[in-house]
Amino acid sequence: MGLNIKKYTEELKNLNIEGMFDNDFLLTWEKTDDEIKAVFTVADALRCLRENNVSARIFDSGLAVSLFRDNSTRTRFSYASAANMLGLAVQDLDEGKSQIAHGETVRETANMISFMADVIGIRDDMYIGKGNTYMKEVAHAVQQGFIEGVLEQRPTLVNLQCDIDHPTQSMADMLHIIHHFGGVENLKGKKIAMSWAYSPSYGKPLSVPQGVIGLMTRFGMDVCLAHPEGYEVMEDVQKLAAKNAELSGGTYRKTYDMKDAFENADIVYPKSWAPYAAMEKRTDLYAENNQQGIDELEKELLSHNAKFMNWTCTEEMMKLTRDGKALYMHCLPADITGVSCEHGEVEASVFDRYRKQQYLEAGFKPYIIAAMMFLAKSKNPEKMLNKLLSGGGVPRCL
């Protein structure tokens, strides 16, 4: 085990990651290549410690506050697992039971929950132009509180999904891909199809496909975004993906043909999302408290979705992939035809065949989140990893 940890600490020594200390993790494209690599490296190191029964507690006490403005299973429990792994207790902020309903400002709330908090995790993904903006407002408030001496420490913000990006998901996906293909050096030229797929629900966030094209294009991969006409994602993220691909030696393109995207793909990621224009409209309707307009929009979008029920991941579609054996991925929960719905994103036989791989994919998320926290709270992360091993390491389970 020591040799494995040494490998990780040696990798960290060669990375320029000073800017991660006491900083936030909001968007993957705000981080340098070295900083992204550091998260993967620390995630693998923390997993190695746990698998070898060595405690990774770098805190003796402290809080990891969570605020989920949307439903969550995997990310919620991954966040709690990550915080607990490092020695923090988790406290969920229930806005319905707080003074927020009585007009408490963001600045006040941010400071009041942060007196002994080391990390704040936020999911705010439903409304275009709102989630990432809110996270930045919280970050500014705690920074000001720290500078003014109100807070003894500056809590790190972790984006658990916003309207623009889902960094803990895309980075867990990427680490799964790295392990599946035997190393990041084997990813150049691999084709990934990030494809829209039919769902009998509406309003699913854009942050998953945007997170995927925003991150995977940094690794020399051939990234193809596929969706029916009208299901556009944010133009700024597409421009970013194209720029990333050019810099990494990969490619980025968009197609309105799912079969085109699946052709010779090494990885397929069929996932439903709502059109960007519709998400903008829904955001405005909620701001106006226009429930009738929201109901009408839902009917309109469900009707529009139904025109593209053939956009689903079937056994026939999988045969189009490289040797018919592409890695199937999903952030979960998937809409499974004949299981969770009458007709959905993926055929049951495809989903079942890749069930283990999907669970392994999801299993990287606690370590990714823990790595984000670790790097934000360790001024010298390689020294901290070595300290966890000093004297043979403290057993996690006695």
pLDDT tens across 44-75, in order?
Answer: 999 999 999 999 999 999 999 999 998 899 99
> Do 169-362 and 2-165+365-391 have the same topology in CATH?
yes
CB 159 within 8 A of CB 70: no
Predicted structure pTM score? 0.96
Which residues lie below 8 Å from residue 346, measured CB to CB, with a gap of 6+? Answer: 197, 270, 312, 313, 328, 330, 334, 335, 336, 337
CA 93 to chain centroid, in Å, comes to 20
Bond from prior residue into 333 cis (ω within 30 degrees of 0)? yes
Judged by DSSP in three states, 98 sits in coil
Angle of helix 365-377 versus helix 74-86 axis, rounded to 10: 40
Residues of the chain short of pLDDT 70, as ranges, are 1-3, 97-103
- The predicted structure's pLDDT at residue 202: 83
Q: What phi and psi, each to the nearest 5 degrees, are found at residue 121?
A: -105, 130
Q: Do residues 261 and 226 touch, judged by C-beta distance below 8 A?
A: yes
Burial of 83 (C-beta count, 10 Å sphere; 0-12/13-18/19+): buried
- 275: how many CB neighbours lie within 10 A of its CB? 21
Q: Quick one: which H or E segment has residue 9?
A: helix 2-13
Query: Between helices 167-180 and 74-86, what is the axis angle to 10°?
Result: 80
313 to 117, 234, 259, 270: CA distances (angstroms): 43, 24, 10, 7
pLDDT of residue 50: 95
Q: Is residue 111 within 8 Å of residue 151, measured between CB atoms?
A: yes
pLDDT value, residue 203: 80
The CATH number assigned to the domain with range 2-165+365-391 reads 3.40.50.1370
Whether the CB-CB separation of 163 and 236 falls below 8 Å is answered with no
Domain regions of the chain by residue span = 2-165+365-391, 169-362
pLDDT of residue 183: 97
The CATH topology of domain 169-362 is: Rossmann fold (3.40.50)
CA distances from 138 to 101, 102, 155, 292, 388 (A): 17, 18, 10, 32, 32
